[in-house]
């Protein structure tokens, strides 16, 4: 609990005036984002691949790799460019905050964060499979 309270203190809340770029495909990712209202566009190769609703994690795969790296020094490149829609608000946490909190003795924090990320990735994969099936059905009709 104490780690989650401290994590909240390390967060930055922001609202996008003109469409903030949260991640850039191919560039190292140093933060985790959670949109809290509005939506964010996920762009791969310049094309909109999907739109995420509020409360979806952005940058969770990179964070997972960072948490497992020596001294938290791995910052994998973003797999997509993510842009917050104008007027949307989001929360940002530095990956370093998660890494430092998980290093504390007798901490279940790291396990809890990794479980949350695994669930999020599973949900995103499931949604992608469903979307693919729907697209295939439309093509076949």
Lowest mean pLDDT among 26-40, 60-74, 104-118: 104-118
The first and second tokens of residue 91, run together, are 């929360």
Asked if 82 and 22 touch (Cβ cutoff 8 Å), the reply is: yes
Q: pTM of the full predicted structure?
A: 0.80
Asked if 91 and 13 touch (Cβ cutoff 8 Å), the reply is: yes
The first and second tokens of residue 31, run together, are 């933060």
The first and second tokens of residue 44, run together, are 């791969």
Phi, psi of 39, deg, nearest 5: -145, 170
Over the stretch 115-139, which tens digit does the pLDDT of each residue have? 777 788 778 778 777 877 887 888 8
Q: How far is CA 86 from CA 19, 36, 83, 132, in A?
A: 5, 13, 9, 28
């Amino acid at each position: 609990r104490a780690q989650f309270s401290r994590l909240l203190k390390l967060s930055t809340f922001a609202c996008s005036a003109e469409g903030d770029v949260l991640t850039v495909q191919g560039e190292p990712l140093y933060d985790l984002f959670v949109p809290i209202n509005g939506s964010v566009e996920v762009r791969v190769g310049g094309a909109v691949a999907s739109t995420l609703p509020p409360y979806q994690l952005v940058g969770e795969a990179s964070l997972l790799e960072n948490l497992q790296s020596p001294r938290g020094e791995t910052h994998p490149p973003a797999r997509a460019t993510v842009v917050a829609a104008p007027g949307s608000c989001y929360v940002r946490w530095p990956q370093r905050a998660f890494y430092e909190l998980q290093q504390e003795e007798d901490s279940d924090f790291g396990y809890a964060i990794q479980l949350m990320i695994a669930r999020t990735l599973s949900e995103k994969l499931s949604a992608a499979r469903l979307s693919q099936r729907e697209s295939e059905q439309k093509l076949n009709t």
